[in-house]
């Protein structure tokens, strides 16, 4: 393997390892809260 | 709210969620640590949500999110007076505290090397070599010319090879010539 290929592979391994950790719950909670806040605001607007 | 708006919201949220693991890996690459990376991702989600209207449906949401995260990273870094940039002191601190957090042992050396790159080289090689962006997209995210991204990626590769001791001469003996040609080809 050429040095460049070896560097590229390690970079992807490192990056993929983080991606494979998935999405932490705090972000799912945050999106839920944002979604709720927006829905409430819109239903108030509609009245 | 109209049905169409409701649908747009759902698509926006779905695409945002789908981009999160990649976005988070980019944040970890930039900051070098998970806790800071997750704070950065959180700020990015808030910003993206608040600016939903400025996102044009059907365009590249991933590039849009990466741009927001990157801008947020640099603006926070400026506010903190280059704290994040400080290389060796901070670096050894972060890696000595929770080594287990940093995953596989054989990747720790790589992470350490990546961390030593200048910010502009690090982001360039990560965007192109791992996050899956074309040179043109990376240039847009970083607000610079395509040629600039190419030369940063090339310098990042060379520097990583030096830091990790990966070199044609040492590791590849008789094939050293090939390695030299490869590095010249990327040297431009």
Least CB-CB distance to B21: which of A2, A4, A23? Answer: A23
- What is the number of structural domains in chain B? 2
Q: Give the predicted TM-score (pTM) of the model.
A: 0.80
Q: Under 8 Å CB-to-CB from A26, ≥6 apart: which residues?
A: B38, B42
**pLDDT score, position B94:** 46
Q: Are both B61 and B132 inside the same structural domain?
A: no
Q: How many residue pairs bridge chain A and chain B with CB atoms within 8 Å of each other?
A: 101
Least CB-CB distance to B182: which of A2, A12, A17? Answer: A2
Quote the radius of gyration of chain A (alpha carbons, Å). Answer: 21
Q: Do A17 and B104 touch (CB under 8 A)?
A: yes
Mean pLDDT, rounded, of chain A: 89
Q: Are both B6 and B74 inside the same structural domain?
A: yes
**pLDDT score, position B173:** 42
Q: Do A35 and B24 touch (CB under 8 A)?
A: no
**pLDDT score, position B100:** 45
- Residues 36 to 55 of B: which have CB under 8 A from any A CB? 38, 41-42, 45-46, 49
Nearest CA in chain B to A45: B1
Q: Are both B64 and B121 inside the same structural domain?
A: no
Q: How far is A18 from chain B (nearest CA, A)?
A: 5
pLDDT at A23 exceeding the cut of 60: yes
Nearest residue to B29 (alpha-carbon basis) of B108, B124, B126, B99: B126
Q: How far is CA B177 from the centre of its chain?
A: 31
**pLDDT score, position B174:** 46
pLDDT by 10s per residue, chain B, length 188: 577 777 888 889 999 999 999 999 999 999 998 999 999 999 999 999 999 988 887 789 999 999 999 999 999 988 887 554 555 444 444 444 444 455 566 788 899 999 999 999 999 999 999 999 999 999 999 999 999 999 999 999 999 999 998 765 444 444 444 545 545 555 43
Decide which of B85, B104, B137 is a domain's last residue. B85
ipTM value: 0.89
Decide which of B85, B107, B126 is a domain's last residue. B85
* Domain ranges, residue B136: 117-188
Q: Do B157 and A14 touch (CB under 8 A)?
A: no
Q: Quick check: A22 contacting B, CB < 8 Å?
A: yes
In a domain, residue B90? The reply is no
In a domain, residue B106? The reply is no
Taken in order A30, A32, A38, A43, is the CA torsion positive or negative?
A: negative
Q: Are both B57 and B9 inside the same structural domain?
A: yes
Q: Are both B79 and B146 inside the same structural domain?
A: no
Residue B22 belongs to a domain with what CATH number?
1.10.1740.10
Other Cβ atoms closer than 10 A to B143? 10
In a domain, residue B108? The reply is no
Q: Are both B76 and B136 inside the same structural domain?
A: no
Q: Are both B149 and B81 inside the same structural domain?
A: no
Q: Quick check: A44 contacting B, CB < 8 Å?
A: no
Q: How far is B18 from chain A (nearest CA, A)?
A: 9
Q: Are both B23 and B69 inside the same structural domain?
A: yes
Phi, psi of B132 (to 5 degrees): 90, 25
**pLDDT score, position A46:** 66
Least CB-CB distance to B178: which of A2, A23, A42? Answer: A2
């Amino acid at each position: 393997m050429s040095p460049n290929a070896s560097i590229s592979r390690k970079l992807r391994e490192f990056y993929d390892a983080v991606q494979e950790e998935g999405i932490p719950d705090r972000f799912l909670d945050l999106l839920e809260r944002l979604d709720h806040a927006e829905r409430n605001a819109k239903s108030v607007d509609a009245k | 709210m109209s049905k169409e708006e409701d649908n747009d919201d759902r698509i926006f949220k779905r695409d945002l969620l789908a981009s999160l693991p990649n976005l988070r890996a980019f944040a970890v690459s930039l900051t070098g640590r998970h806790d800071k990376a997750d704070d950065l991702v959180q700020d990015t989600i808030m910003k993206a949500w608040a600016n939903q209207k400025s996102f044009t449906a059907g365009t590249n949401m991933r590039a849009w999110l990466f741009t927001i995260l990157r801008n947020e990273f640099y603006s926070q870094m400026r506010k903190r007076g280059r704290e994040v940039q400080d290389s060796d002191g901070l670096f050894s601190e972060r890696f000595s505290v929770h080594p287990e957090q940093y995953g596989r042992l054989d990747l720790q050396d790589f992470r350490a090397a990546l961390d030593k790159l200048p910010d502009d080289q690090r982001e360039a090689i990560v965007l192109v070599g791992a996050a899956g962006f074309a040179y043109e997209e990376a240039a847009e995210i970083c607000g610079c010319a395509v040629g600039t991204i190419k030369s940063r990626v090339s310098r990042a590769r060379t520097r990583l090879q030096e830091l990790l001791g990966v070199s044609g001469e040492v590791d590849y003996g008789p094939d050293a010539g090939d390695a030299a040609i490869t590095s010249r080809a990327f040297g431009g």
